[in-house]
Amino acid sequence: MGAHAYVTIIATGIALAATAASLIYVIRILWLVIDRLVSILRSVEAVTETSMPVGPVVDEINRDLERSAKALEACVQRLEERRAPAGAATEDPGATAPVPGPTPSDRRQF
């Protein structure tokens, strides 16, 4: 075998080694990407599992708000009954009184 055959074999070996090294590097990068994607998917799955029972909680909050609104309406009704007893004038004497506060001339122009 001549010298050119040895040079060709060595050059082919170097080319194969460089190709294998670059492929190994790409494989390592892909493994890192896969690991990150798996951790992201686990996080998303954990969030969806944690947020599943939101419906019943929202329903409970709505029921509490409805009860609070009814209690507030009953309170307002009691206050109105105390303020205007039966047989009294229906006009509110305080309704014509000026409301204290800034006048339109006191407001700043921006």
| φ, ψ for residue 2, nearest 5 deg | -90, 175
Per-residue model confidence as pLDDT tens digits over 20-34: 999 999 999 999 999
pLDDT for the residue numbered 83: 85
Determine the straight-line distance between the first and last CA of the chain, rounded to whole angstroms: 94
pLDDT for the residue numbered 35: 96
What is the reported pTM?
Answer: 0.43
pLDDT for the residue numbered 24: 98
Q: Output the CA angle 58-60-63, nearest 5 degrees.
A: 110
Sequence spans of domains, the chain: 1-51, 53-82
- Which parts of the chain have pLDDT scores under 50? 110
Quick check: helix, strand or coil at residue 69?
helix
pLDDT for the residue numbered 28: 97
Query: Are the C-beta atoms of 73 and 79 separated by less than 8 Å?
Result: no
- Neighbouring CB atoms inside 10 A of 84's CB total 13
Alpha carbon distance 38, 44 (integer Å): 10
